[in-house]
Chains A and B, each alone.
Chain A
Amino acid sequence: QKEVEQNSGPLSVPEGAIASLNCTYSDRGSQSFFWYRQYSGKSPELIMSIYSNGDKEDGRFTAQLNKASQYVSLLIRDSQPSDSATYLCAVRGSARQLTFGSGTQLTVLP
């Protein structure tokens, strides 16, 4: 079992729709959770962080965390073509470094 798992996609949504990205992790001691966006050929860019169970909203982005289920998700409301990218889930577990999932490729269709 991978430490951080994501659906690889690709995930396609129409412009204006809600995109839902999911991530599960195996280390129950994990404390910090992050979502990075990576455009093709570019480096990862931090877009959300969440540390407590529940929802955290930032503009069109909402991160959701459920530690009991070892599940974290990212919702993108009113999706735009510029949101088309690979979204990486990253988890800081018992080890101090971030462990990344393999990413979900999102395409927003105009």
Chain B
Amino acid sequence: DTGVSQNPRHKITKRGQNVTFRCDPISEHNRLYWYRQTLGQGPEFLTYFQNEAQLEKSRLLSDRFSAERPKGSFSTLEIQRTEQGDSAMYLCASSLHTSGPANEKLFFGSGTQLSVL
């Protein structure tokens, strides 16, 4: 399978616990994005990487959220001290960015559904 892979598919946790999600992008893609989606809404940008560098974080992103992309390959998203409001689908997307027109296309993984009890 050469698509974007996310693990786990589902995560149920208790409020206050820490959780970590993993994303493996399409192998030749140099950019990796994290989005969050709640029911009835479109995906909301969280952060993105170009290779191993984290280039942008949403102003709405709490300090409890941290993401890494060591060696520019897979990425992890950690949420510390989870809250019920963190319940959502966490989507990872990857793209191949080259210089030139801004026609970069994002391809999404299947997502990790987080439920905080």
Contact = CB atoms under 8 A, between A and B. Distances in A.
The answer to whether A and B interact is yes
Contacts of B26: none
Interface stretch (B65-73, B78-86, B97-105): B97-105
Contacts of B104: 32, 92
A98 B107 CA distance: 12
B103 A96 contact: no
A88 interface: yes
A92 B103 CA distance: 9
A45 interface: yes
Given A44-B91, A96-B55, A100-B43, A51 B106 contact: no
A91 B42 CA distance: 12
Interface size classification for chain B: 20 to 34
Contacts of A45: 108
A34 B101 contact: no
Contacts of B55: 96
Contact of B43 (A42, A44, A92): A44
B40 A102 contact: yes
Given A31-B102, A97-B48, A43 B108 contact: yes
A34 B105 contact: yes
A8 B41 CA distance: 9
Interface residues of A, number: 25
B103 A42 contact: no
Interface string A1-26: 00010001000000000000000000
B48 A92 contact: no
B44 A100 contact: yes
B110 interface: yes
B103 A32 contact: yes
Interface of A: 4, 8, 31-32, 34, 36, 42-46, 49, 51, 88, 90, 92, 95-103
20 contacts: A8-B40, A31-B102, A32-B101, A32-B103, A43-B108, A44-B108, A46-B106, A46-B107, A49-B103, A49-B105, A51-B101, A88-B42, A90-B42, A92-B104, A96-B48, A96-B55, A97-B45, A97-B48, A98-B33, A102-B41
